[in-house]
Amino acid sequence: MTQQTRRTVAANLSLSLDGRYHGPGGPADFGAFLPYVATDTARDHLVRLCAGATTAVLGRGNAEGFLGYWSPVAGDEAADPRDRAYARWLVDTPKVVLSRTLGTAPWPRARVVDAPAADVVRGLRDAGQGDVLVNSSPSVIKPVLAADLIDRLYLLIAPVIVGGGERLFDDGLPGTTWTLSSQVVGAQGEVAAVYDRVR
């Protein structure tokens, strides 16, 4: 009898130097990151992070916001090819949207699940093939990180201190060890880093 290998659970997020994923104005305060998220370094990072992923997991806010932005990019021949590749992956890949309020899925090839994030990701990890990517959704990443279910972190670190806003790494997380598997420094000082969990 062969033992099934668990899927790799990855997560991606843009962070400031002070570890925040938005500014002091709340979730819509992303202005400090804008100069860095469309650089060559950031675009290459997007292509890398979705290369082996066969399931995307998103929170409701990103699922709804990404639909409006990325769906048109998938068919836009004038868009950067890396943006198109990421957009096509996002449109075509099966998606799990975690929400307590959505009744229907906001994307094709998506299903809405109202359950604790760690339970959902654990179930996905233990069935199927290919990587599970928790896609730029801190409301999902944080509880999954707290449950020590993340195997790989794709971080785009912007060279800014925003001085307020929510942090990814809250106090009280379990102590874990990570290895830096890849880092690319962009022309504006942004860093695309990949960390793998040491188990």
Contact 18, 57 (CB under 8 A): no
What is the predicted pLDDT for the residue at 1?
A: 42
**pLDDT tens-digit readout, 6-25:** 999 999 999 999 999 999 99
**pLDDT tens-digit readout, 20-39:** 999 999 988 999 999 999 99
What is the predicted pLDDT for the residue at 66?
A: 86
pLDDT < 50 positions in the chain: 1-2
Contact 9, 131 (CB under 8 A): yes
Q: Which of 46, 2, 28, 30 is nearest to 156 (CA)?
A: 46
Contact 55, 96 (CB under 8 A): yes
Question: What is the assigned CATH class of domain 9-197?
Answer: alpha beta
Contact 134, 124 (CB under 8 A): no
